[in-house]
Structure 1
Amino acid sequence: MTDDIQSSAHALRTHPALKKVSAEVMASIISVAEQTNVSAGDFIMREGEPSNDLYFLLSGDAVALRKADDGKDILLNAVPAGECVGELAFLDGGMRTSSVRAESACRLIKISTTELEARDDAAAVIGALKAALASVAVNRARQMSDNMLASLRRELEIKTLQNQFGSFLVFTIAIFLISTALFYLVAEKYVRDVYDPGFSWQAILFLAVPCLLVIKVMKIPLADLGIRREGFKRAALQSIAACVVITIPVAIYLLNFKGPSSDTAARPGATVDLIFMLQYFAHTLFQELGSRGLLQGLFQKFLGDTKGHRAILLTSTVFASLHLAFGIDAVMITFVASIVFGYVYQAQKNLIGVTILHYWLGVLAAFVVAF
């Protein structure tokens, strides 16, 4: 035997698809086997060809392709070394259902159907070989079916994402329009005190409408909004600890360094009392639900922003713009604070932590201004 014949014989005898073939049938198959080489980029077979010869890929890589209606090639699957090639046409005697192109230099064993049919034991050999290859064909069909199903799912996800993005775009435009309208009301002096709880709640309600609509239209689950049990305790404890640390220097400043406030009545600002403390927490919860839970989450989703940097920056920009009515100082402060809140939420993935932190920082700021 030559080296090629010996290597072909060994490859066929050890091939998983042929492990149940008898020694007599294997000898007949080996007798018509020949090795062939195909250069990278060349076709091993083409779709629609009448050939039904069988190939075993010894080395190299190939891909199976099919023509689309527009003439472009559609990738069906990769064909690594060790695979059978052309088994469907061999089994049913029909045309090639797909093309197979060598991606790298390939070495193959060719089993000529014409030479097999010319043998005296052709019926027995071909029957045994077809029976052995049936499982290969079934597995290949199952794989192609799974690939097609996965492709359809991806197309459906892309279509859904496109529809959701349209809703999200309308939502962000609505937020900016509301922000502009609120600023116009203040600029035109229709609102005398922007710190009045009534004005603040009216603003929140205006913003709640597009938020609720986009949550309903996009069917966003509560877990995606940061409302979840998972990580609740850890997020709450981390934020409470941070609040304690932040409170210490503020308390030292208020008790030892801040002078007595003068003309408190003339200075704008919220009245810090029990009602303020209660309503401000609810106010903060609504703000974080809309900004971190909804806006930051959607920015991260549509931008494919795994680390969250761009989502946090964009969310902070939108969040800061909502404070135009309170002045440029408030815009700058809320922008920086929103960056901090964004990274806290990114780390904790739970709305409770960032809500506690936001709430207590706001309370401390009110104390500094009021006392």
Structure 2
Amino acid sequence: MDINCGNSSYEDNRTAEAKFRDASIILGILLSGVGVWVIIYALWEHLGRPVPVSYMVQAVDLLGIAMCLTAWRFTSFSVKELGLFPENPKKVAIETLILCGISFVILATIKFVGQMYDPTLFQTERGFFDIRRFNLYQIFYLFTAFIQEFTARSIMQTNLRRVCATRHKTMYAIVHASVVFAVFHIEYGFWFMIGAAFLGGLLGVVYEKQKTVLGVWIIHWFLGVAAFLFGIINQ
């Protein structure tokens, strides 16, 4: 009898059991998180939106932290799989700066074309790009963007890819993480959710390419701040 073969089979079974266990836990976390947030949103609407959207953003951040801590405590992914430490920081930094530049041009084009159609669209207090809108909230948004991306990429997308048994597991993970990401923006309305899902898909692809959450975190923050300074979003 080949002892090594027996050991290998045992290890394979242990790995399969661990992945199945992780899959069950992640599914439970995702379903519970989405369910809790939909209930909170429904209550917010039922009460006539008693608090501003910014409070809802803080609430979903707290929910994201709770989901991250739960996944960290009860699943078996390693620190390396969290994507906090890029293998090639310089390459990630260059790619992130390029993508931020492209994003800025796209946002400027959206505003320019939108105002050609309707001059009152995307108005700011001062000019085409109102840098004076930048405030402490935009700095705090660094934390918000990190929590959202860490939850969507390091926790959801990474674990969905690890436990998925389908052929196209990476695409499966990106799509499902993006849909959940969109649901957590329900307080902004339908079209914002569609935009969040689309952005989530693009950031999911970047995350898979860079293998780190740092790049998508900065892109997410930059897009949110730039869109606010352009007046494309006003919350």
TM-score interval (norm. to shorter) = 0.7 to 0.9
By percentage of residues, which structure has more strand?
Answer: 1
Q: 1:171-320, aligned counterparts within 5 Å?
A: 171-189=29-47, 191-192=49-50, 194-196=52-54, 198-248=55-105, 250-251=107-108, 258=115, 259=119, 272-304=133-165, 308-320=170-182
Are the structure 2 counterparts of residues 189 and 295 from structure 1 closer, same or farther at C-alpha, using a change threshold of 3 Å?
same
- In structure 1, distance between residues paired with 2:34 and 2:12: 33
- In structure 1, distance between residues paired with 2:198 and 2:106: 20
Secondary structure of the 2:53 match is coil
Q: Deviations over 1:115-144 (max 9, x none)?
A: xxxxxxxxxxxxxxxxxxxxxxxxxx5xx0
Q: Counterpart of 1:353 in structure 2: which amino acid?
A: G
Secondary structure of the 2:49 match is coil
Task: Name the counterpart of 1:150.
Answer: 8
Task: Name the counterpart of 2:230.
Answer: 368
Q: Quick one: percent identity of the two aligned structures?
A: 18
Q: 1:1-371, aligned counterparts within 5 Å?
A: 141=1, 144-189=2-47, 191-192=49-50, 194-196=52-54, 198-248=55-105, 250-251=107-108, 258=115, 259=119, 272-304=133-165, 308-369=170-231, 370=234
TM-score normalised according to structure 1 size: 0.54
**CA contact 2:174–2:201 (8 Å) conserved in 1:** yes
Q: Counterpart of 2:85 in structure 1: which amino acid?
A: R
- In structure 1, distance between residues paired with 2:113 and 2:19: 56
**CA contact 2:152–2:181 (8 Å) conserved in 1:** yes
Q: Counterpart of 1:326 in structure 2: which amino acid?
A: Y
- In structure 2, distance between residues paired with 1:311 and 1:249: 26
> In the comparison of the two structures, how many residue pairs are matched?
221
The Cα shift of 1:291 comes to: 0.2
The Cα shift of 1:230 comes to: 1.2
Q: Decide which structure has the larger Cα Rg and report it.
A: 1
TM-score normalised according to structure 2 size: 0.83
Deviates more, 1:233-242 or 1:253-262: 253-262
Higher relative contact order (CA 8 A, sep 6+): 2
CA RMSD of aligned residues (A): 2.6
By percentage of residues, which structure has more helix?
Answer: 2
